[in-house]
Amino acid sequence: MAVQECRERGTAATVARGTAARELGLRPREFELAVQLGHVRTVSVAAGGRPRVAREEIERLRSGAGFPESLRNRLWAVGTAEAAQLMGVSPARFARLARAGCFAPVRFYVNRYRAVVWHYLAADLVEFADANPELLTGRTDPALRMELEERDDQRARSWRARRLGQLTVLTADPWERAAAVAAVLAPDQLADAVPDPYERAYLSLLRPDLAGIRTDSAAARDVIERVTLAVDAGEIGRHRERLARALATARADRAAPKPEGYVPVPRPAAGPALAPAPELKRGPEGDREAQAAAAPAEPAAPAGLRGWLRRLRRIA
């Protein structure tokens, strides 16, 4: 009874996100960005429910100097054309600076041509322009220009770094922090970094939606995945090191949930090199069946893992 009363008081003292957005004069995308950037703090009042916004948080923001313009200015996000105009440079020069990672995008979307469209915080661009006026006018130093043009496109990487920073600040739960780092690793990288299948299942359960983009297009989902997942070996290595530290902290706080009586299976030690399998020639159906039989089988998921994960999701 006491728990129920506490939850009712918590709900009464908070409002849903849509209500908070309306009371703050923000459009839905602006409100989500405000939460991501930490300008609007949310609270959880029920297990498994969406975070809400405290009434006192709304009052704090509404009583701020220059509200609502001051809040909306901090959330002003612009595309390439508007960004170039804001900085007083050509779109080509702006694109060169953006690809070189001089400032991090704050969000993106996939247009109908399956191209990634980046948005940047206007405040970030003004800050960069004030600190680097020599990069905005006149001829760029040839050596610097060559360095900028030869760099790989850094926009996706810098967006991932920014997004992970946001997510780790927004939660104090060590497993949720580990899940945020795990979200930028491809499944094979994650399986290698986290051998325990139940820990991986728990990380998947807590995995945040990095992009926050809903689409029914498989092609668009592929593009989004290319932005959200690390691909460069150096970046993957850094995220794996970060995940290892986050997991050590999470395990010290509590173990990942596992079925009763679960005993972890140790990873097999590397044995002597095996002789190469005999080459199978292409041939009729029978030969293809022999090739399939000779191919190494995919490792099976631990018994009951899928059912257990489904139950865990229902509980959460």
Neighbour-count burial for 191-211, b at 16+ CB within 10 Å, e otherwise: eebbebbbbbbbbebbebebb
- Are 246 and 171 in a shared domain? yes
Whether residue 184 contacts residue 158, with contact meaning beta carbons closer than 8 Å, is answered with no
Gap between the Cα atoms of 264 and 39, Å rounded: 42
- Are 212 and 228 in a shared domain? yes
Tell me which residue range forms the domain holding 42.
Answer: 2-74
pLDDT of residue 89: 94
Q: Is residue 129 included in any domain, yes or no?
A: yes
Q: Is residue 40 included in any domain, yes or no?
A: yes
Taking only the tens place, the pLDDT of each residue in 255-301 is 999 877 666 656 555 444 444 444 434 444 444 344 444 444 434 44
Whether residue 16 contacts residue 52, with contact meaning beta carbons closer than 8 Å, is answered with yes
| Cis previous bond, 68, omega within 30 | yes
Q: Is residue 204 included in any domain, yes or no?
A: yes
Q: Is residue 268 included in any domain, yes or no?
A: no
Taking only the tens place, the pLDDT of each residue in 154-174 is 999 999 999 999 999 888 899
Residue 140 has pLDDT above 70, yes or no: yes
- Are 148 and 175 in a shared domain? no
- Are 114 and 38 in a shared domain? no
DSSP-derived pairing of the beta strands 14-15 and 77-78: unpaired
Q: Is residue 266 included in any domain, yes or no?
A: no
Query: Hunting for tokens 């998947």 — which residue is that?
Result: 204
Q: If 0-12 CB within 10 Å is exposed, 13-18 middle and 19+ buried, where does residue 289 land?
A: exposed
- Decide: pTM greater than 0.95: no
**Based on the structure, what is the number of domains in the chain?**
3
- The whole-number average pLDDT for the span 194-205 is 95
- The whole-number average pLDDT for the span 100-121 is 95
Amino acid at 15: V
Q: Is residue 60 included in any domain, yes or no?
A: yes
